[in-house]
Structure 1
Amino acid sequence: MPLTLDTLNEASAADAVALLDGIYEHSPWVAEAALRQRPFRTLAQLKYALAQAVATAPQERQLALLRAHPELAGKAMVQRTLTPTSTGEQQTAGLTACTPEEFERLQTLNAQYNTRFGWPFILAVRGPRGTGLNRAQIIASFERRLRNPPAVEFAECLRQVHRIAELRLNERFGYTPARGNLVWDWLERLARHSDPGYAERGELTVTYLTEAHRACAAEIAEHMRANGFDEVAIDAVGNVVGRYHPAGGATSARYLLTGSHYDTVRHAGKYDGRLGIFVPMACVRELAAAGRRLPFGIELVAFAEEEGQRFKATFLGSGALVGDFRPEWLEQRDADGVSLRAAMLQAGLDPSAIPALRRDPRHYLGFVEVHIEQGPVLHTLNLPLGVVRSINGSVRFEGAFIGVAAHAGTTPMDQRHDAAVAAAELVLAVQARARADGDSVGTVGRLEVPNGSVNVIPGRCRFTLDLRAPTDPQRDALIADVLGSLADISARHGVEHTLEETMRAAAAPSDPAWQARWEAAVAALGLPVHRMPSGAGHDAMKLHQILPQAMLFVRGENGGISHNPLESTTSDDMELAVAAFEHLLNQLAGDPDVQT
């Protein structure tokens, strides 16, 4: 019989620890510490309390927890001394049926890993979907993580321990993240489409209006029709638009606008953008299945382009909705010389109809977007969800230091005009100034010494600057200080400099009322509310121009990496995102200000 929270909350301290026996391998102290937080309202709250018990423990205890785990396909498995739970997990991944070559490889990796780190390799072999990784995926993870620095790998192992515990808790409580599994499956299916040159290597790349891009649009439209949307269409810029009508079909009712993009960067992950399409879709699916209508409509837009991979223009999809599609963009050409206009016409789109896509804000309540975090913050905090308080404003520059190229052996150190030294000092100045703000970020992403030589003092060094902050005043103060440092560095090193601004984007602070709705949704799940800026740009920053907006972030795996095939999240975290979106819809439904 499945365990219930009521049973756990009402049990004696000793009995409660016994009820959670085996969730954390041979480590009852984790349950003992977490159970001091009783009563638990939700399973998510219990999972977080357990993770925090580990996070706040001394490092010696954390290390003991790691060492309590068995090796994968190790001696304990061979000798059949694993716990029944560990045996089942390794069987699910097929580790009990390794070929001799696979078994030998795993033994070698186990030995190398223990020598390097001093604890066993830990991986939740049932994976982010809970159905099991295959042996090739396990070996690839093993080989990749062997290259991690020890501190990074220690943190990753603890995260894997929490994922193992999460899956064990799900079984103990008889819980299945059904909607998260559904979203996962939709995303996996959509990732079958990829551009030529990448598809053959099993890599995901979907750029604007390619055959793979059009196949994605058709599949998303198919999902919308199958899951209860009343109207489905592909618009003049390639956005897939689904509308779920309000109660009674009231023509005066406003709509909640939501969505994200379905194009990708090259060699991408599966969740950037696309997660924000399928989480709302799962909610509409449930509404339609129950025959339930809300006092407002829902308009879900799968934006056709956000990444700027094929043409220089970006945010073509969301930009069209706010009237920010510039006719001159139609003459841009891709790497093959195909113009944007020609690509649109070939895809059956009508560029002349783009101006009509502009939305009238009077017909909408606001815009909300769900997105994978694309960073390590939630991963580090053991939190599945975060509430975005602002999308950072940013400015980019391209510049150069111009010194004097001279002989490296004959020029005294105090008589040099070294452009590369000036650039190196600028990197450190940018880092120090951005860190001083706490949530500003600054990056010198490119450094280049043209025609550099091992025995020549660099006479020129090109660089880029990327400066971002949650508000425009904070960003502008950062810029002013960095440019001041740039001038000072040039003067001290006796070099000149050039600087050209190449991009400027305003910050998009979340609307307070909409941010509060996301916060209430997260709190209702029993989770702490973590407010954070978004360092990346999103479609929400375009809709911000005409509508109140707010975003919800979902934790990523693998250190939160994004724009990378390792980008991942779990079906459990997706389930929580669906639940949060559902809660937001119910808040709106009960708000008299949105009634027709």
Structure 2
Amino acid sequence: MSYSFEQAAEQAWQWLETVARFSEIQNPQRNGVTRQCATPEHRATLDALTTWMRDLGMSVRQDNGANLIGRYASSNPDARTLLLGSHQDTVPNGGKYDGIMGVMLPLVLVKYLRQNRIELPFHIDVVAFSDEEGSRFSSTLLGSKVLAGTFDSNMLYATDDAGVTLKQALEDFGCHPERIVEDRYAPEDVIAFIETHIEQGPQLELENLPVGVVSAITGIERHQLTIHGLAGHAGTVPMHVRQDSLVGAAGVIRLVDALCRETEELVGVVGKIENAPNGVNVIPQTTTLSIELRSPQDKVRRRAREQLLEQIDASLTASRLTFDHVLTYEQSAVQCSEWLSRELEGAVQDSGITLRVLFSGAGHDGLAMQSLCDIGMLFLRCEGGVSHHPSEAINPEDLTTAVEVLANVCRRLAKRHDSV
């Protein structure tokens, strides 16, 4: 009797439940999961993954960036490698599926292939990236940068809240940070990287679809805007002569919201605001706010930036306010590989699922991996689009679909290999 996709999905569910217990604070349903890089919880996760990988006949290694890599080897030792995986770490009080689900699904894919004696003309390396979220060291994409060969050694001196450097944490975890450069994959040895991840948004659920294919990973930019007005007594300064920085900020917030609503493939938010002197009876003099813009098309995002800054200048000048502006962060969008996306799209349709292509509004390890190889992503719907929260949830039946799609992708890539 063959091993089914349903059995594989049930195994993934059990493993996800097990790993959810590897958290700084217990009771994942109420308190969420907190699992950071190079911590006892990270070690417990890698120990469990190592056991499961070895039980599947995989060779296992931990690299010097604290990534865990399990290989399901082809009978051809000189074959190229398909990389599958995601990150093991979470945000503080995060959910049970963000990241780690993209490790478990490739593992049960391997179990499906092994149990059904399906041989492939390429190796499969399943990767549990050490740190994508950057919660402990603000070291976003640490693990994937190591594999891609773009890790900046200066990051080794970043510290956590306790003053421990990333270098020390990695050494304590059994790594040799000075040898990270040796852990880069050779581009000629890699076919592609595919990540399976919860959508972190509501689109698939709204359309009653279990999975979707990602076209691009969003570009992001962040700004700090400081608005200068004039403080005064709130009871004695007439309204028509006030220079209220907070009122100016309110206008900026409306401009950001309106522009993003009117522009396709653009989202944005004013997520942080600070006000001074912040007294109940004092006209605000200085208001500082953050502005974030995201789009899968860099030209859309940059054009929106120019338009927004022009609107802000006109609005604040009309209110006799001045401002300082700093672009604090910019990450270009990454387009998923066209050929690989076509194979993913075909794999979804092979499963009898209506195809939905959407872009990712969040960052992922593909942002780093695209420096190494072609990338693709498969999204799995999550309840209410909720992510980075203890109530993060998925439909167990969708795991079945995801395993089938991954198996279909492998079949398609094997055919592609044979035709070359």
Same fold by TM-score greater than 0.5: yes
For residues 510-529 of structure 1, the aligned pairs below 5 Å read 510-529=336-355
Q: Does 1:236 align with 2:64?
A: yes
Q: Distance in 2 between matches of 1:259 and 1:466?
A: 28
For residues 537-556 of structure 1, the aligned pairs below 5 Å read 537-556=363-382
For residues 123-142 of structure 1, the aligned pairs below 5 Å read none
| Correspondence for 1:318 | 144
Q: Distance in 2 between matches of 1:448 and 1:210?
A: 34
Q: Distance in 2 between matches of 1:489 and 1:214?
A: 53
Q: Deviations over 1:538-561 (max 9, x none)?
A: 00111112211111100001x110
List gaps (5 residues or longer) in structure 1.
1-174
Q: Distance in 2 between matches of 1:415 and 1:197?
A: 56
Q: Does 1:533 align with 2:346?
A: no
List gaps (5 residues or longer) in structure 2.
none
Q: Does 1:426 align with 2:252?
A: yes
| Correspondence for 1:327 | 153
| Correspondence for 1:109 | none
Q: Deviations over 1:355-376 (max 9, x none)?
A: 1111111111111110000111
Structure 1 position 196, deviation (Å): 5.5
SS in structure 2 of the partner of residue 390 of structure 1: strand
For residues 108-187 of structure 1, the aligned pairs below 5 Å read 177-187=6-16
Amino acid at match of 1:250: P
Q: Does 1:578 align with 2:408?
A: no
* Cα contact 2:76–2:122 (8 A) shared by 1: no
1:412 equivalent among 220, 233, 238 = 238
Q: Deviations over 1:245-288 (max 9, x none)?
A: 12x3231x211111100000000100001111111111111112
RMSD: 1.8
| Correspondence for 1:479 | 305
Per mean C-alpha deviation after superposition, the further-off stretch among 410-419 and 467-476 is 410-419
Q: Distance in 2 between matches of 1:435 and 1:201?
A: 34
SS in structure 1 of the partner of residue 48 of structure 2: helix
1:217 equivalent among 46, 55, 60 = 46
SS in structure 2 of the partner of residue 475 of structure 1: helix
* Cα contact 1:245–1:293 (8 A) shared by 2: no
* Cα contact 1:470–1:507 (8 A) shared by 2: yes
Structure 1 position 483, deviation (Å): 1.7
| Correspondence for 1:337 | 163
For residues 203-282 of structure 1, the aligned pairs below 5 Å read 203-229=32-58, 231-246=59-74, 248-251=75-78, 253-282=79-108
| Correspondence for 2:24 | 195
Q: Distance in 1 between matches of 2:36 and 2:28?
A: 12
* Cα contact 2:226–2:289 (8 A) shared by 1: yes
Q: Distance in 2 between matches of 1:488 and 1:549?
A: 42
Structure 1 position 210, deviation (Å): 0.9
Number of equivalences: 417
Q: Deviations over 1:433-456 (max 9, x none)?
A: 112222211110011213312222
1:588 equivalent among 409, 413, 418 = 413
Amino acid at match of 2:395: T
Q: Does 1:305 align with 2:105?
A: no
Q: Distance in 1 between matches of 2:5 and 2:220?
A: 41
1:393 equivalent among 206, 219, 227 = 219
For residues 71-90 of structure 1, the aligned pairs below 5 Å read none
SS in structure 1 of the partner of residue 258 of structure 2: helix
Q: Deviations over 1:45-82 (max 9, x none)?
A: xxxxxxxxxxxxxxxxxxxxxxxxxxxxxxxxxxxxxx
Q: Deviations over 1:511-532 (max 9, x none)?
A: 1111111111111222221111
SS in structure 1 of the partner of residue 276 of structure 2: coil
Q: Distance in 2 between matches of 1:407 and 1:278?
A: 60
Q: Distance in 2 between matches of 1:450 and 1:382?
A: 47
Amino acid at match of 1:276: G
Amino acid at match of 2:274: E
Relative to structure 1, is the Cα distance of residues 201 and 574 closer, same or farther in structure 2, using a 3 angstrom cutoff?
closer
Q: Distance in 1 between matches of 2:211 and 2:329?
A: 30
Q: Distance in 1 between matches of 2:30 and 2:215?
A: 39
TM-score (norm 2): 0.95
Relative to structure 1, is the Cα distance of residues 432 and 199 closer, same or farther in structure 2, using a 3 angstrom cutoff?
closer
Q: Deviations over 1:274-321 (max 9, x none)?
A: 111111111111112233320111111110000111102211100111
Q: Distance in 2 between matches of 1:489 and 1:213?
A: 49
Amino acid at match of 2:76: G
SS in structure 2 of the partner of residue 521 of structure 1: helix
* Cα contact 1:418–1:459 (8 A) shared by 2: yes
Relative to structure 1, is the Cα distance of residues 547 and 498 closer, same or farther in structure 2, using a 3 angstrom cutoff?
same
SS in structure 1 of the partner of residue 126 of structure 2: strand
Q: Deviations over 1:118-158 (max 9, x none)?
A: xxxxxxxxxxxxxxxxxxxxxxxxxxxxxxxxxxxxxxxxx
Amino acid at match of 1:330: L
Q: Distance in 1 between matches of 2:53 and 2:240?
A: 69
SS in structure 2 of the partner of residue 591 of structure 1: helix
Q: Distance in 2 between matches of 1:274 and 1:478?
A: 35
SS in structure 2 of the partner of residue 302 of structure 1: strand
* Cα contact 2:5–2:112 (8 A) shared by 1: no
Relative to structure 1, is the Cα distance of residues 431 and 457 closer, same or farther in structure 2, using a 3 angstrom cutoff?
same
* Cα contact 2:29–2:391 (8 A) shared by 1: no
Relative to structure 1, is the Cα distance of residues 384 and 201 closer, same or farther in structure 2, using a 3 angstrom cutoff?
closer
Structure 1 position 202, deviation (Å): 5.1
Relative to structure 1, is the Cα distance of residues 284 and 197 closer, same or farther in structure 2, using a 3 angstrom cutoff?
closer
